[in-house]
Amino acid sequence: MSGIRPSIFNEDIDLSGFAPKGEPAKPPVAAETVRQVSEEGGFPSRAPKPLTTAQSQPPKRPTATKTGRTVLLNARVTQRAHDRFHEIIESERLRYEAGELTHRVTLGEIVERALAALEREIGRGDRAT
């Protein structure tokens, strides 16, 4: 190779060396042969089994609890503030697992509780909602 790339504006680039691929050299393997070899190798087919009447509808996944928190808040905080928020969430998770709380606490809830505490501290009252 010459180490120089051809200009894209040069109209006399020789592309005669490029051609579409022809037919494959070997014919494709029959589906029955693939099935037989895969089963012999320990890879049985994963074809779906017909549903019985008891299984006619797939089980529903439990949906996540709706919190109403849909607005994203993006803020730069110090590593210490980040760690403090997550320490609070971890302690609340432990309280939830111990049965002291009826729901899992999220970061959004912690931020809302922190705002309410700040508003109480500066004398503006509870403005939650």
pTM: 0.45
| CB-based contact 13:6 (threshold 8 Å) | yes
**23-57 per-position pLDDT tens digit:** 777 778 898 898 889 888 888 777 777 766 665 66
**71-103 per-position pLDDT tens digit:** 888 999 999 999 999 999 999 999 999 999 999
| Contact residues for 44 (Cβ-Cβ < 8 A; gap 6+) | 38
